[in-house]
Chains A and B, each alone.
Chain A
Amino acid sequence: MSREATNKIRAIIVDDEELARQVLREFLASHPEIELVAECANGFEAVKAAAELKPGLIFLDVQMPKLDGFEVLELLGSDAGVIFVTAYDSYAIRAFEVHAVDYLLKPFSAERFDAALARAKDRLGGKMPPASELAAAARPPAQYLDRIPVRDGTRVFIIPVGKLDYAEAQDDYVALCAEGKKHLKQQTISSLESSLDPSRFMRIHRSYVVNLERVARVEPYGKDTHVAVLTSGVQLPVSRAGYARLRAFLDR
């Protein structure tokens, strides 16, 4: 490889169908400024490849085994440009109307592909919308998460929301506590809260969202403050507003 290789945009292709990857590979061949560094057939591979190879550009299918395109998007760092490649997905279209880098609807022409690529290159230097924001926009309205994907290095954990005990805000991260383990995820606690079903999860404190099924009791703690005691024995601080909400729920 020559020195120019470092100036190339590194790209990965994520699609579970070999023929679909083949089209992208073929169209990419006429763009020497793009270097194809990996092809992935499922979401896990994609997250791993993205973490290891730090690509600048990702071609991403929506419906795939293991993790779907949106979940992959949620686990990516925000520095990669993503072009969705999908047969038909109104959510993807909606997401990209708001935050789009671009999307390609299968089947697509070489011209359409080139246009998407040009657009992505323009955006690469500039600021990209955070991937988690894109993923949130892509979620259909009034539909809450069933599971939360979390990335630890190149490994991916899936936490079903029923197993989540509580979440704690830690600067730019949230710590998700499930089955006695903590998983860090780059997300604000407010954005996590908004993606969880409010009849099952409650914000009891500026820094805490709790799974209501796990709350064993609420006890006073000093003057004006309370703690929620979980079935596991863990105690979480409850703010005054959180206490009012929690009481309203428990008195029901």
Chain B
Amino acid sequence: MRPTPIGSGGLLSLWVLVAGLLAYLLAGPGGLTWTEAFAVSIPLCVVYAFICVSAWYSCRATPVEQSGLIRLTLTHLTAALVASGVWILTAKILGGILSSFAPFRGLDARLPKSYPLIFGIGILLYLLRVAAYYVRLSVEASQEAKEREMKASVLARDAELRALKAQVNPHFLFNSLNSISALTSSDAPKAREMCILLADFLRRTLGLGEKASIPLDEELSLIRSFLAVEKIRFGARLQMDESIDKNALDVSVPPLLLQPLVENAVAHGIANLVEGGAIRLEARCQDGVLSIAIENRFDPDAPPKRKSGVGLVNVRQRLEARYGQLASFNVKKAGDIYRVALVLPAEREGRSS
């Protein structure tokens, strides 16, 4: 639940304390009677408690990390001056009202002596409130980050499990086994080759479960071994076209991020085309950003699929959970071209063997 800027019971007791203190100062140096001091300080504090809430919005509008010191000081000092000015005005009006009652006669004449005091306290209180809001914002931000991290790890684990299930997806596996079954009598060496390719792909997927990220290079070789299996199934209908920047190869990516997209491109694209087509893979790394695109032809009039693109949703969620605003995921259909584009921060790690 998002906290409101008004605050809690703890805050109320703080304001009671401030009202007491203000009354003490008004009675002492201000020369008011105790009754007068409290009659002025309590309503003033109630009003100021609300005025200070405005600090919440200026704090949110000027985040500490992103705004310079000068901007921070200027913004909040101006706001504090204005807030305190409004407070003095309130005090003046309050004094005027109170002096029309018998016990407070003449208060409007004695109160202005304390204006500098009230003004000073006003600025101080406002700035304290600003500081308190900043503390709260940072606590919230760290909580949010923690939450996001937790969500990311849950999603990642989820994706791993799904990867094991989905990558060794029944359609893919059974169809591949069927191809092997066909080849055993017509082309035994090819059948053996396909067994090995399939085993190679399965072994790679299993190994990836424990890793949080892998170099793009490794993901690409996983994709190549997946496509090698599919290539035997689809024959000339399936082609592959790669355009990968060398400097993108060692960028860390979540494992099995691209494989589901390539699997989609085969199952929903190439498999529905009588004459087949190419799957185009692009990866660029520039200015700390990794851009990846997977493009394939598809048949806009293909039979409706009984299984929707769970893979796409999954990839989008994983990117969001892991990189938040820093990553983007785009799907574009133009004519008979289907293009999925990913952008994510290019993080690099020491390569583990």
Contacts and interface: CB of A to CB of B under 8 A. Distances in A.
A66 B303 contact: yes
B149 interface: no
B304 to A, nearest CB: 5
B175 A106 contact: yes
A140 B179 contact: no
B272 interface: yes
Given A65-B271, A66-B274, A87-B171, A20 B178 contact: yes
A26 B182 contact: yes
Contact of B233 (A19, A68, A105, A146): A19
Interface in A37-69: 41-43, 63-68
A139 to B, nearest CB: 9
A228 B124 CA distance: 76
Interface in B119-172: 170-171
Consensus secondary structure, chain A interface: loop
Nearest to B181: A107
B306 to A, nearest CB: 7
Nearest to A146: B304
A18 interface: yes
Contacts of B174: 87-88, 105-107
B271 A16 contact: yes
B164 to A, nearest CB: 17
A158 B175 contact: no
A17 B174 CA distance: 13
B177 interface: yes
Interface in B176-212: 177-183, 185-186
A178 interface: no
B220 to A, nearest CB: 26
A96 interface: no
Interface in A20-43: 20, 22-23, 26, 41-43
A140 B274 contact: no
A233 to B, nearest CB: 29
A106 B304 contact: no
Given A19-B183, A26-B185, A65-B272, A87 B175 contact: yes
Contacts of A89: 306
Contacts of A63: 171, 271, 303
Contacts of A64: 272, 303
B303 A19 contact: no
Contacts of B65: none
Q: Which of B233, B302, B303 has the most CB of A within 10 A?
A: B303
A147 interface: yes
A65 B302 contact: yes
Given A19-B179, A26-B182, A87-B171, A65 B299 contact: yes
Contacts of B349: none
A165 interface: no
A16 B301 CA distance: 17
B235 interface: yes
Interface string B274-317: 10000000000000000000000001011110100000000000
A162 B285 CA distance: 44
Given A65-B272, A87-B170, A107 B180 contact: yes
Nearest to A24: B182
Contacts of A158: 301
Sort A-B residue pairs by CB-CB distance and give the 8 closest, nearest first.
A106-B178, A68-B303, A87-B174, A19-B182, A107-B181, A107-B178, A19-B179, A88-B170
24 contacts: A19-B179, A19-B182, A19-B233, A20-B178, A23-B182, A42-B274, A43-B303, A65-B273, A65-B299, A65-B302, A66-B299, A66-B301, A87-B174, A88-B170, A89-B306, A91-B306, A105-B174, A106-B174, A106-B175, A106-B177, A106-B178, A107-B177, A140-B306, A158-B301
Interface of A: 16-20, 22-23, 26, 41-43, 63-68, 71, 87-89, 91, 105-107, 140, 146-147, 158
Interface of B: 170-171, 174-175, 177-183, 185-186, 232-235, 271-274, 299, 301-304, 306
